[in-house]
Amino acid sequence: MKRYETDVLVVGGGGAATASTISAHEKGARTMMAVKGRFGQPGVRGAGATSNPMADFWTIRTVGPKGGFFNPPELVHADMLQTGLGMADPDLCQIFVEEVSTAIKRLRKMGMDFQSKMLATMPASEKTKGTNNIVQIQKAVIAGTGTEVVEQANITDLVVEDDRVMGAVGVHDDGTPFFIRAGAVVLATGGVGQLFQYSFNPPGNTGDGYAMALRAGAELFNMEFMQQGIATTWPKPVMVMLYEMEEPYRLLNREGKSFVHEYLPEGLDVKEVSNLKAFHWPVSCRDAAIHLDRAIHGEALRGRATDHDGIFIDLSQGERGFQPEMFVDFMTKHGFDIAQDLVQVQVFHHTSNGGVRVDTTNMSRVRGLFAVGETMGWQGADRLGGTMLGGSQVFGWRAGGYAADIAKEQPKASLEDARIEALIVEPLAKMKETKGTKRPEDLKPGLQRHMWKKLLVEKDAEQLASAQKYIDEERDRMANDLAIAEPMDLALAFEHRNLLDVAEVITQAALLREESRGSHFRGDFPERDDANFLTNIFATKRSGTLEVRKQWINEERGWEDAPGDVRIMPWG
Ligand SMILES: Cc1cc2nc3c(=O)[nH]c(=O)nc-3n(C[C@H](O)[C@H](O)[C@H](O)COP(=O)(O)OP(=O)(O)OC[C@H]3O[C@@H](n4cnc5c(N)ncnc54)[C@H](O)[C@@H]3O)c2cc1C
């Protein structure tokens, strides 16, 4: 087993990880990054969601490209809470609005070039090597910090003694196990998009941070809330900016028939639902906009979508809206002739709103264990567009500084080898002995398809029971029919275990929440029920068994539903 040692270990290579690393270094800590695949190379394993060229809208309502306030922070704060429908963390949202301007200015100083006068956007360009450049810019800074970057390092579990994190274990792509002793660990592993067949998350985003934190004794919350959006399924996935479209959208199933009206509750028409969806950009769904997602997804479940699960949409009215030329240009660049052709779309997973429960220093209830970016929980039942990238910088930076402080109190006690080996060497040996037929990559498509059908858009008790059954049976397959054909399969098997653990949390939280709120829609409980569900759902693990419970983070201060939805428009 390889051994490493550091003060602050940052797990991940996305924008939240890079911010944490620089900040911890500035506080005088020795820093190490453990990254799946290659660090800062877009398009390969290891590139996080941050490097997706479509992740380019920043802090839309809060600050402009130079960090100046665009809208009053208190209004943005109120909108964030309203969008979260009582489920967002008000303290963390407050920190966000107060510090995001500083984060933008800090990035500008590092060399970030925001490319719009109005919005802090930064479209990918040749200059940014075809990627959103937060990671590239910060990678260059990290090169001067003495940080040891350990690549092809798949962290599989945290080492915890007496509720204090002591480091992490993992496996390299070549099958070599390792242990990193650390005074503090920052989890920046992104979200869990890879649980779903249709997702924009890169291959490494398998919910590892959520699953590891849970096993280590931390709490997760709001995991039933996920953003979802419309994107093309074929010939390749491209997000569709619905705010550029004529409403009501002309949507047709494979039989060429309109269908959205079949999914609408009484009193709603297609135009109203289409308008709401457009206002929300593509990914928010706290109101009747969700019925458009239900309809598109529902047609696929009923076998009325194309062989690519696609619903036809007519985008030929793309000459309107906020930035029509950019939209048409964008679609053309991706090979779509939207003036001539109908385009096939479906509902994709976009981001996870919940995550590890942290305090205002970003520490979980396990001392020394921090979570940042999409791995932390702070957003509510729905969220405003453009807050995730800004949040990754604000909270990533804060966590790095606090982690450096905590690392100084690192207990000197030596860890028994047997304890570390039980976490990584033994499970690896057991996996290698398996003589089954299913490699992890053989199992993944089935899991992703099932969870996309049962967990992402509309669900009910029956579908959720089916999701749980699949999870249980898949765990049996992992135990009895796993095949390890090459060293990389070991890391992939750990990832698959994590996908199952997170799927179970989402399933059980969604089952417990017998109402519809924000992005969480229950066909058997289609109304919001504040009397019984003005509460968050927390998940913990005790002796390997998952427990979910109601616990409201706003119990003491309450939350008032403000009629009229958000005040600053658009989007989100
Ligand atoms: C298509 C798309 C468009 C988006 N658009 C916007 C937008 O316009 N505005 C906005 O605010 N947000 C947007 N988002 C969301 C936003 O991009 C993400 O929430 C944010 O980038 C997450 O950053 P992160 O650093 O937390 O995680 P990521 O950037 O996803 O990085 C996670 C990193 O952790 C690594 N990792 C994971 N597990 C392990 C492990 N076990 N061991 C070692 N390394 C590991 C991964 O390989 C990766 O390097 C978009 C997301 C997508 C997918």
Please list the rounded mean pLDDT of every run of 10 residues in the chain (572 residues).
96 97 98 95 80 67 73 89 96 95 90 65 55 81 98 97 95 98 97 96 94 98 95 91 74 96 95 85 82 97 98 80 75 88 94 97 98 98 89 97 92 80 96 94 98 97 98 97 97 98 98 97 97 98 96 96 76 60
Residue 279 Cα, ligand 1 centroid: separation in angstroms? 24
**Residue nearest (by alpha carbon) to ligand 1 atom 12:** 388
Closest CA to 175 of 487, 411, 420: 487
- CB 157 near ligand 1, within 6 Å: no
**Residue nearest (by alpha carbon) to ligand 1 atom 21:** 50
The answer to whether 568 touches 61, Cβ cutoff 8 Å, is: yes
Whole-angstrom CA distances from 484 to 10, 37, 497 are 28, 19, 14
Closest CA to 380 of 224, 240, 146, 172: 224
- Residue 326 has what pLDDT? 76
- Cα–Cα distance measured from residue 235 to residue 343, given in angstroms and rounded to the nearest whole number: 9
> What pTM, to 2 d.p., does this model score?
0.96
Closest CA to 211 of 407, 423, 499: 499
Residue 190 Cα, ligand 1 centroid: separation in angstroms? 5
**Residue nearest (by alpha carbon) to ligand 1 atom 14:** 55
CB neighbour class for 543 (10 Å; exposed up to 12, middle 13-18, buried from 19)? exposed
Amino acid present at 194: Q
Residue 212 alpha carbon, nearest atom of ligand 1: 41
Residue 245 Cα, ligand 1 centroid: separation in angstroms? 28
Residue 49 Cα, ligand 1 centroid: separation in angstroms? 3
57 Cβ contact list (under 8 Å, min separation 6): 119, 121, 385, 386, 389
Residue 16 alpha carbon, nearest atom of ligand 1: 25
Q: If you search the block for the tokens 């390889």, which residue do you land on?
A: 2
- CB 90 near ligand 1, within 6 Å: no
Closest CA to 13 of 179, 145, 205: 205
Helix (H, G, I), strand (E, B) or coil at 32: strand
- CB 207 near ligand 1, within 6 Å: no
- CB 36 near ligand 1, within 6 Å: yes
Residue 374 Cα, ligand 1 centroid: separation in angstroms? 7
114 Cβ contact list (under 8 Å, min separation 6): 58, 65, 66, 104, 108, 120, 121, 122
- CB 183 near ligand 1, within 6 Å: no
- CB 389 near ligand 1, within 6 Å: yes
Residue 396 alpha carbon, nearest atom of ligand 1: 25
Helix (H, G, I), strand (E, B) or coil at 213: helix
Whole-angstrom CA distances from 228 to 77, 280, 404, 456, 572 are 22, 11, 35, 8, 12
Strand pairing report for 2-11 and 31-34:
parallel
For residue 236, give both structure tokens. Answer: 């390749």
- Residue 58 has what pLDDT? 61
- CB 190 near ligand 1, within 6 Å: yes
CB neighbour class for 287 (10 Å; exposed up to 12, middle 13-18, buried from 19)? middle
Amino acid present at 42: P
